Structure 1
């Protein structure tokens, strides 16, 4: 159960911040966001605030932000339609009722002659209470269409994704993967603040209760000046001498609170990967400071970004088999293994997964954010967008192929982790 909770929390957080990036910059650009969803499938939780419905869905394997202009919009109101209109105090249309008009006794029934609820925002037609005179009704940009009791806000062109500038659309799509890198960076900073950042100072870190250092009287914070007469200038020097001398007495000259002391320590012999080494039960020294934590955050983010790109290169060159890829099942199994090592390892795993999600989404593959950014780049070069139907077909084919790959990877994961 703890693994299930950890998996849901980690995956949910990665998806949430990714989609929040899209959502935040879409709202900044003035795009109408109809839905913010975590997961797919049936709704588990739903809440509407302002223009947006916030949903948590059953399958925690992704998420989306549904923006006006991206999906088929509201029903087109054609000439001859009989619709009901509700007005505000300034006699502007607030609701356009398509059916079940009897439930709205205060609405005014109009036979439509002409309508434009995207650009000029008007309804022109013959009212039922004055059928000989055609009237023009101004529609509020926040008006809603009511069909079968469900309300859908209209989307004037200035609120639709496709009518925004190329820079605004690019930033809205790019912001999703960007937030995954930001999340990883923040997680690595938090780990560094809590754990501390390893330093190369010859200062003893945490002492294990059952090690030779504890038995000899060494304490955390002791500064090692020399070992067997050899001057010590770094933690690496301390580690090297201890590892090379299993079961041999070592004369430590240390400084503790300003006082020099001599302590004899005998490293315990341990076999590691076929090699006999000495250990005394001391962790490396760490420094807890905001500056070092931020520096560590950058270093960790850069390191794992580089490692993932190296893996992608191996995949492209054939050095990395498709059977080595993992989907949600594989990630779940890995999360189970990492969770047993402790909370810090689990946090680091979440950071690595976040970077991985960001990079994967930036790949120029149709249906992914990177595929859409590729079309924006082509639009910028040619000075006009590619035909929406052609682009939509490319994304549809890309999505189908991704689903096929997901099925193959998931089956491989099930065989590897659960059908051994």
Structure 2
């Protein structure tokens, strides 16, 4: 039991992780297309086990294998990691422009000073209300000598705040919350869209694997312990059923459905002898089936639901349904067909062996209305012969059914 629980938990984590990763990938992809700075795309949560940087983005694998995340500049708000009067260090490129803002005393700096003023977000911010001159990106430091120096900051300058810890600054044009509303909407919508796409792809793959059902009355294989299992094996075509010539699966299904719990005779293509067996009938509405009973008599093979709770047992022979005598499964299913769709009350009179004698016992119970079964996509009863319909690979069908099933 514990092994099954752990396996189910592992599968749950894996599936949830894939869903979240693709969700975040949607945000990440669209954000990159509209110029938003993406700091990190992470698989998993918690401490980083592996990091790889490509361009502006760090790709990481983290210790807790649940989902992941994408870190976008300006996703929450615009902020700087410094404030006035902070003591910081600076690193420069060859043109003496700031390429690094050092926040840790343990890291190397070319210049150290106290922040007097700065602008690391809006390069087009006016230096005063009366001037059209813009500030650009800058940091103004008071050096140890008392001199105040203004330094131009590069668009891709980075904060350094610990060993192997860095974060690129995000000017206004690279920040998500500075983008037009329609672009922000696209970034937010891309996550759920990826989940929709994943669902459609999974349906397409499923239908590609299972294939398109063939129109011919061709059976791929028989189900173990089914009515046909001991007679034929797999890959055969039915040409006649109960003496009626057929060519399609629909014709075969119709004739089977019209013979619940009855003897059925099939003629198989390429075989001279006929194949005879009794069909299985599962009456979901009544909670009974003939599975396990070969005779055409109305003997219950198994019972479930409220029918079982009310005292109905395997081996009981049904002789009346709601005071109407019945002798075959065909008669019983016909009465079920004729019922009002909202009818719930059931009384079955059965013959049961009690103390070496046969007794007639009424068993009454309530069932779900027929329209409830139908609303759940379940027929009030099914007639089965224990076979699987033949299919063939069809990519067009897989795509079509993928979208239809999703819708």
TM-score by length of 1: 0.61
Q: Contact (CA 8 Å) 2:77, 2:177: kept in 1 or not?
A: no
Aligned length, in residue pairs: 291
Q: Contact (CA 8 Å) 1:109, 1:127: kept in 2 or not?
A: yes
Q: Which residue does the alignment assign to 1:321?
A: none
Partner SS, residue 204 of structure 1: strand
Whole-angstrom CA distance in 2 between matches of 1:113 and 1:271: 83
The yes-or-no answer on 1:138 pairing with 2:152 is yes
Residue of 380, 385, 394 corresponding to 1:280: 385
Q: Deviations over 1:362-411 (max 9, x none)?
A: xxxxxxxxxxxxxxxxxxxxxxxxxxxxxxxxxxxxxxxxxxxxxxxxxx
Whole-angstrom CA distance in 2 between matches of 1:95 and 1:135: 16
Partner SS, residue 240 of structure 1: helix
Q: Which residue does the alignment assign to 2:126?
A: none
Residues 4-403 of structure 1: pairs in structure 2 closer than 5 A: 4-37=9-42, 42-43=46-47, 45-50=49-54, 51-52=57-58, 54-56=60-62, 58=64, 60=66, 63-71=68-76, 73-75=78-80, 77-100=82-105, 103-104=107-108, 106-118=109-121, 119=123, 120-128=136-144, 131-132=146-147, 134-149=148-163, 150-208=165-223, 210-217=225-232, 219-222=234-237, 224-243=238-257, 244=259, 246-252=261-267, 254-255=268-269, 263-273=274-284, 274=288, 276=290, 279-302=384-407
Q: Deviations over 1:30-53 (max 9, x none)?
A: 21223334566x436452524335
Q: Deviations over 1:313-355 (max 9, x none)?
A: xxxxxxxxxxxxxxxxxxxxxxxxxxxxxxxxxxxxxxxxxxx
Q: Which residue does the alignment assign to 1:373?
A: none
Distance change >3 Å, CA 249–CA 103, structure 1 → 2: closer
Q: Deviations over 1:179-219 (max 9, x none)?
A: 11111111111112222233443222223354443544474
Partner SS, residue 29 of structure 2: helix
Shift of 1:110: 3.6
Shift of 1:116: 1.2
Whole-angstrom CA distance in 1 between matches of 2:166 and 2:280: 74
Distance change >3 Å, CA 157–CA 249, structure 1 → 2: closer
Q: Contact (CA 8 Å) 1:37, 1:57: kept in 2 or not?
A: no
Q: Alignment RMSD, CA only?
A: 3.0
Partner SS, residue 275 of structure 2: strand
Whole-angstrom CA distance in 1 between matches of 2:384 and 2:24: 47
Whole-angstrom CA distance in 2 between matches of 1:188 and 1:153: 41
State which structure, 1 or 2, has the greater radius of gyration over its C-alpha atoms. 2
TM-score by length of 2: 0.62
Shift of 1:99: 4.0
Between Structure 1 and Structure 2, the one with more helix by share is 1
Distance change >3 Å, CA 204–CA 139, structure 1 → 2: same
Distance change >3 Å, CA 137–CA 3, structure 1 → 2: same
Whole-angstrom CA distance in 2 between matches of 1:297 and 1:195: 12
Q: Contact (CA 8 Å) 2:214, 2:391: kept in 1 or not?
A: yes
Whole-angstrom CA distance in 1 between matches of 2:71 and 2:383: 59
Distance change >3 Å, CA 299–CA 160, structure 1 → 2: same
Whole-angstrom CA distance in 2 between matches of 1:151 and 1:172: 25
Between Structure 1 and Structure 2, the one with more strand by share is 2
Distance change >3 Å, CA 79–CA 12, structure 1 → 2: closer
Partner SS, residue 388 of structure 2: coil
Q: Contact (CA 8 Å) 1:218, 1:263: kept in 2 or not?
A: no
Shift of 1:135: 3.7
Whole-angstrom CA distance in 1 between matches of 2:62 and 2:81: 30
Shift of 1:10: 0.9
Whole-angstrom CA distance in 1 between matches of 2:178 and 2:273: 76
Distance change >3 Å, CA 261–CA 295, structure 1 → 2: farther
Whole-angstrom CA distance in 2 between matches of 1:123 and 1:218: 81
Shift of 1:87: 1.1
Unaligned runs of 5+ in 2: 1-5, 124-135, 291-381
Q: Contact (CA 8 Å) 1:206, 1:284: kept in 2 or not?
A: yes
Q: Deviations over 1:221-249 (max 9, x none)?
A: 42x33323334353233123234153514
